Amino acid sequence: GENVEQHPSTLSVQEGDSAVIKCTYSDSASNYFPWYKQELGKGPQLIIDIRSNVGEKKDQRIAVTLNKTAKHFSLHITETQPEDSAVYFCAARTAAGNKLTFGGGTRVLVKP
């Protein structure tokens, strides 16, 4: 089955700096890659996603890039703010679509 590896497990950045989280996946049939943000005491919330026919997608301060050949994708957060502090999860889903496989999560701390 699909295996998703996520790095780093923790990330501390200064407010205003950029943060990058990287994920690799094993199943070349995977075609959908969402990113979720989880705040303390809450469930994960979708913040951005990308499909395999697109190499990059941006939404204000966040962007996701996908390299299908290398089977890895990354989340980029620019101009980080304290409210970006949370746990972020990447995930991958195959064309069959019934199972989303998650990475282990990255705890991001933005220091004011």
Cβ at position 9, least distance to another protein in Å: 7
Between CA 86 and CA 30 the distance in angstroms is 26
The C-alpha atoms of residue 68 and residue 19 are separated, in whole angstroms, by: 22
The candidate with the shortest Cα–Cα distance to 88, out of 19, 16, 17, is 19
Q: Is 28 in the site for another protein (CB under 8 A)?
A: no
| In the complex, minimum distance from the CB of residue 111 to another protein, in angstroms, rounded to a whole number | 22
Residues 25 and 39 sit within 8 Å (Cβ to Cβ)? no
**Does residue 27 interact with another protein by CB under 8 A?**
no
* Distance of closest approach, residue 70 Cβ to another protein, in angstroms: 20
DSSP string for residues in 20-40: EEEEEES-TTEEEEEEEEE-T
* 89: contact with another protein by CB under 8 A: yes
User: Least distance (Å) from another protein to the CB of residue 88?
Assistant: 11
Q: How far apart are CA 93 and CA 107, in angstroms?
A: 22
Residues 30-69 that bind another protein (CB under 8 A): 31-32, 34, 36, 41-46, 49, 51
Binding site for another protein (CB under 8 A): 1, 4, 6, 9, 31-32, 34, 36, 41-46, 49, 51, 89, 91, 93, 95-100, 102-105
